[in-house]
């Protein structure tokens, strides 16, 4: 028997490309967020409300990740925003290499903020660094209040939590305080926003926070 | 099913660490996997067996050491372990804590069977 000591991270290749992406973003002065959640929590709707709010005052570009279709990119393109759709063809998450490749198809001139909408999935995307400055996790009230405890890694890696579909609370068995308490027990540093993409409640607060991060 | 891409990354690391003509001697690949790394050990094992079948790595198997999620409270200096991912100190309620372990996802050792070479 002979033993070779290795001590190598399984995801070292992804991490290396993520570092390259991060260096590129930093050299161009672009702030990048990685938007993650389960499917149907309202990531794309939040993006739409965010683009409406900034209304070209802040130049934003978007990378959309989905298993199939370019529906989301079509929605974003209506806001005169540079957008690239990544179709993973079954892949359950975005990887740094996919972002690096997508950047070749995205006009980043003048862009201050790049939002990457990850594939809807609360498990796999938490493992993959894309080169973003921070992760933002969306949890909608329709998903219930226990998701932070069921999918802790995702909430631990995030800097902010958007609790979306807040307008539906009266119709649901979702305890908002329990949801927040659960999320903060996993990650006390989480900045929490409560939003509704229908009434636009909380969108200005979220956008102001985002903008202050972009400008800092 | 991100375990499949992890299994492929592990196979890449083995191929980069072991000379090509010794790949079929690889028997055990030791890994450290944290309970909060988001990896299901059984799935990873299944995926690795699937991708290494009918390759020089066919006789290699994974030996996974699960690393518990351990947090150190910066206030009362106690450490605590849980599977959920709680980072708030259960003793003093402190939120200033440091995650000590539980997010690992790495290959640590590769064991080869070199018996045949010795006897020949």
Residue of A nearest to B88 (CA): A185
Both tokens of residue B98?
């440091």
Using pLDDT thresholds of 50, 70 and 90, give the confidence band for residue A174.
very high
Give the DSSP letter of residue B59.
Answer: T
Residue A92 to residues A6, A74, A86, A125, B37, Cα–Cα distance (Å) = 28, 21, 12, 8, 16
Residue of B nearest to A125 (CA): B2
Q: A152, B12: Cβ pair inside 8 Å?
A: no
Give the DSSP letter of residue A196.
Answer: -
β-sheet with B97-101: strand ranges across: B79-81, B70-73, B97-101
Interface test with A, best of B15, B23, B32, B38 (most A CBs within 10 A): B38
Residue of B nearest to A154 (CA): B38
Query: Residue A184: its chain B contacts at CB < 8 A?
Result: 88, 95
Q: Is the pLDDT of residue B116 over 80?
A: no
Query: Residue A11: its chain B contacts at CB < 8 A?
Result: 6, 9, 105
Interface A-B, measured as beta-carbon pairs within 8 A, has a size of 92
Using pLDDT thresholds of 50, 70 and 90, give the confidence band for residue A28.
very high
Predicted local confidence at residue B2, as pLDDT: 84
Domain boundaries along the sequence of chain A: 12-215
What average pLDDT does this structure show over A135-148?
97
ipTM computed for the complex:
0.85
Proportion of chain B above pLDDT 70, given as a percent: 95
Structurally, at CATH architecture level, domain B3-68+102-113 sits in 2-Layer Sandwich (3.30)
Predicted local confidence at residue B120, as pLDDT: 47
In CATH, the number for domain A12-215 is: 3.40.50.300
Measured between CB atoms, which of A6, A13, A185 is closest to B17? A6
Report pLDDT digits (tens) over B32-41.
Answer: 999 999 898 9
Using pLDDT thresholds of 50, 70 and 90, give the confidence band for residue A202.
very high
Report pLDDT digits (tens) over A72-109.
Answer: 999 999 999 999 999 999 888 999 999 999 999 999 99
Within 10 Å of residue A70's Cβ, how many Cβ atoms? 16
Mean pLDDT of chain A: 96
Report pLDDT digits (tens) over A39-63.
Answer: 999 999 999 999 999 998 999 999 9
Both tokens of residue A88?
């993973």
Query: Residue A187: its chain B contacts at CB < 8 A?
Result: 87
Interface test with A, best of B75, B87, B93, B114 (most A CBs within 10 A): B87
Query: Residue B108: its chain A contacts at CB < 8 A?
Result: 5-7
Q: How far apart are CA A93 and CA A181, in angstroms?
A: 27
Q: How far apart are CA B15 and CA A13, in angstroms?
A: 14
Query: Residue A1: its chain B contacts at CB < 8 A?
Result: 27, 111-115
Domain boundaries along the sequence of chain B: 3-68+102-113
Q: Is the pLDDT of residue A7 over 50?
A: yes
Both tokens of residue A179?
């949801």
Q: B109, A2: Cβ pair inside 8 Å?
A: no
Predicted local confidence at residue B117, as pLDDT: 54
Residue A10 to residues A2, B37, B112, Cα–Cα distance (Å) = 22, 11, 20
Contacts of B93 (CB under 8 A, 6+ apart): none
Phi-psi region of B104 (alpha: psi -120 to 50; beta: other; left: phi over 0): beta
Q: Is the pLDDT of residue A216 over 90?
A: no
| 3-state SS class at B34 | strand
Q: A10, B6: Cβ pair inside 8 Å?
A: yes
Contact of B85 with chain A, judged by CB distance below 8 Å, is answered with yes
Q: A153, B107: Cβ pair inside 8 Å?
A: no
Measured between CB atoms, which of B2, B27, B108 is closest to A93? B2
Q: Is the pLDDT of residue B28 over 60?
A: yes
Contact of B47 with chain A, judged by CB distance below 8 Å, is answered with no
Using pLDDT thresholds of 50, 70 and 90, give the confidence band for residue B119.
low
């Amino acid at each position: 028997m002979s033993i070779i000591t290795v001590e190598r991270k399984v995801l070292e290749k992804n991490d290396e490309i993520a570092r390259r992406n991060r260096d590129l973003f930093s050299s161009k002065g672009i702030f990048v967020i990685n938007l993650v959640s389960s499917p149907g929590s309202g990531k794309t709707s939040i993006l739409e409300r965010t683009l409406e709010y900034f209304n070209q005052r802040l130049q934003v570009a978007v990378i959309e990740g989905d298993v199939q279709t370019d529906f989301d990119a079509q929605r974003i393109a209506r806001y005169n925003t540079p957008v690239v759709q990544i179709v993973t063809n079954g892949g359950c998450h975005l990887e740094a290499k996919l972002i690096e490749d997508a950047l070749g198809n995205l006009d980043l001139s003048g862009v201050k903020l790049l939002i990457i909408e990850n594939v809807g999935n609360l498990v796999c995307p938490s493992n993959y660094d894309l080169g973003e400055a921070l992760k933002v996790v969306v949890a909608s009230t329709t998903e219930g209040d226990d998701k932070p405890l069921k999918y802790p890694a995702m909430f631990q890696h995030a800097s902010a939590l958007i609790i979306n579909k807040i307008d539906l609370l009266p119709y649901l068995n979702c305890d908002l305080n329990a949801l927040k308490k659960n999320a903060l027990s996993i990650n006390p540093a989480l900045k929490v926003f409560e939003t509704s993409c229908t009434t636009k409640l909380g969108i200005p607060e979220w956008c102001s926070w985002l903008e202050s991060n972009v400008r800092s | 099913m991100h375990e499949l891409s992890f299994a492929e990354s592990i196979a890449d690391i083995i191929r980069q660490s072991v000379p090509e003509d010794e790949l079929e001697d690889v028997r055990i690949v030791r890994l450290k996997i944290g309970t909060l790394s988001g990896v299901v050990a059984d799935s990873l094992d299944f995926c690795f067996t699937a991708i290494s079948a009918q390759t020089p790595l066919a006789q290699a198997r994974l030996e996974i050491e699960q690393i518990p999620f351990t947090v150190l409270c910066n206030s009362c200096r106690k450490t605590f372990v849980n599977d959920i991912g709680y980072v708030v100190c259960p003793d003093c309620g402190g939120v200033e804590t440091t995650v000590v372990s539980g997010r690992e996802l790495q290959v640590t050792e590769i064991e080869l069977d070199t018996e045949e070479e010795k006897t020949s």
